[in-house]
Amino acid sequence: MKMVFRWYGTGNDTVTLRQIKQIPGVEGIVWALHDVPAGEEWPLEKLMAYKEEADRYGLHLEVVESVNVHEDIKLGLPSRDVYIENYKRTIAKLASVGVKTICYNFMPVFDWVRTDLFKEMEDGSTALFLDKAKIDNMDPAELVERIANDLDFTMPGWEPERLKLLSPLFEKYKSVSEEDLWNNLQYFLEQIIPVAEQYDIKMAIHPDDPPWPIFGLPRIMTGRESIRRLLRLVDSPYNGVTLCSGSLGANPANDIVAMVREFAGRIPFAHIRNVRVYENGDFIETSHRTQDGTVDIAGIVRAYYETGYTGYARPDHGRHIWDERCRPGYGLYDRALGIMYLWGAWDAMAAGERGDAR
Ligand code: DNO
């Protein structure tokens, strides 16, 4: 397991590379050019600058999260071919700075969605929270209106430029079914995977978060069956999954320990975090510890250990603790605690094995 840590870049993150370097066992950062709009080719100078900065701290840049997929690709419009060509050129450039894995998602319009970014927990910390009924009952028109008028409702990744496009996008998706989305994903992968193979970069799709359709938009990466189908679309080790225990864990029917075992070899990147799901389907993102949520994090680490996992892993969203002010879910403290929990579970497995061998 190669431990990495998500970092949004100087001036864009409250956490510094120096701090990241001091977390035990972290060897690289998970990064992206967040200012390049989806569909555009990433400029090499910017990649080189990023590399130089990370090199100074001895951190590698092997994992990118995300190279976002343009909506026209997801919609299957004729203009998609231009964006796919740009994507291929970006892959080639990323290879030149040492990238080995690209995380991306195929969620229409929205990436991850929560209703509350700072929900207070019993111990006074705050965390990301989703009120299921609120999302389920919100009609898309009302949503567009709310986002336009209510700054508190903005979400990370919802840049003003994108918001302006929201209404027409909803219109375009009206005629796109889940099957259409699958076909559009297949079209994308059939072109991208051969290039990924050529440049030795593994593509790792991120599951939908939450893992069910929202706002009347189709969502297809939701559980075990959909991952099986994804892996069959293009049967190559370069077509893999970012197994995100928190996203998938928001649906208690998802058995993530079983998925780690079943999809071993096709998981270039693991997001490991916990989530507590309530009876009514609401959920909150707890500490990484198994006992704090509904996801068996220790069992997941054990499954990775037993399947000989050599891919990348990162802790995922943390709570906001010890009065830290940070990007929602992306503070230093709770994610660093998460890493120590993951290493603790991993190292205990290794120690057990050594003990057995004696
Ligand atoms: C949220 C992240 C997602 C993820 C994308 C991958 O914190 O897990 O935004 O980066 O879905 O493309």
Please tell me the distance between residue 208's alpha carbon and the centre of ligand 1 in angstroms: 9
65 in contact with ligand 1, CB cutoff 6 A:
yes
- Known catalytic membership, residue 180: no
CA torsion sign for 150, 155, 159, 163 is negative
The set of residues, in sequence order, having a beta carbon less than 8 Å from that of 199 and lying 6+ positions away, is 91, 92, 94, 95
Q: How far apart are CA 69 and CA 121, in angstroms?
A: 35
Domain 2-354 grouped into CATH 3.20.20.150: yes
Which of 87, 305, 309, 330 is catalytic? The answer is 330
pLDDT of amino acid 167 = 77
Does the N-terminal peptide bond of residue 66 adopt cis geometry, omega within 30 degrees of 0?
yes
Q: Please write down the long-range contacts of 166-169, taking CB distance under 8 Å and 24 or more positions apart.
A: 166/109, 169/71, 169/108, 169/109
Residue spans of beta strands (DSSP E) within 171-267:
202-206, 239-244
Which of 70, 316, 333, 341 is catalytic? The answer is 316
Please tell me the distance between residue 339's alpha carbon and the centre of ligand 1 in angstroms: 18
pLDDT of amino acid 316 = 95
206 in contact with ligand 1, CB cutoff 6 A:
yes
pLDDT of amino acid 152 = 56
111 in contact with ligand 1, CB cutoff 6 A:
yes
Which of 70, 206, 288, 320 is catalytic? The answer is 206
Please tell me the distance between residue 127's alpha carbon and the centre of ligand 1 in angstroms: 16
Token representation of residue 356: 């057995």
pLDDT tens series, the chain, 358 aa: 999 999 999 999 999 999 999 999 999 999 999 999 999 999 999 999 999 999 999 999 999 999 999 999 999 999 999 999 999 999 999 999 999 999 999 999 888 889 899 999 999 999 999 999 988 988 777 777 776 676 555 555 556 566 667 778 888 999 999 999 999 999 999 999 999 999 999 999 999 999 999 988 999 999 999 999 999 999 999 999 999 999 999 999 999 999 999 999 999 999 999 999 999 999 999 999 999 999 999 999 999 999 999 999 999 999 999 999 999 999 999 999 999 999 999 999 999 988 877 7
66 in contact with ligand 1, CB cutoff 6 A:
yes
Nearest CA to 82 out of 227, 177, 241, 188 is that of 188
- Known catalytic membership, residue 206: yes
Q: What is the CA radius of gyration of the chain?
A: 20
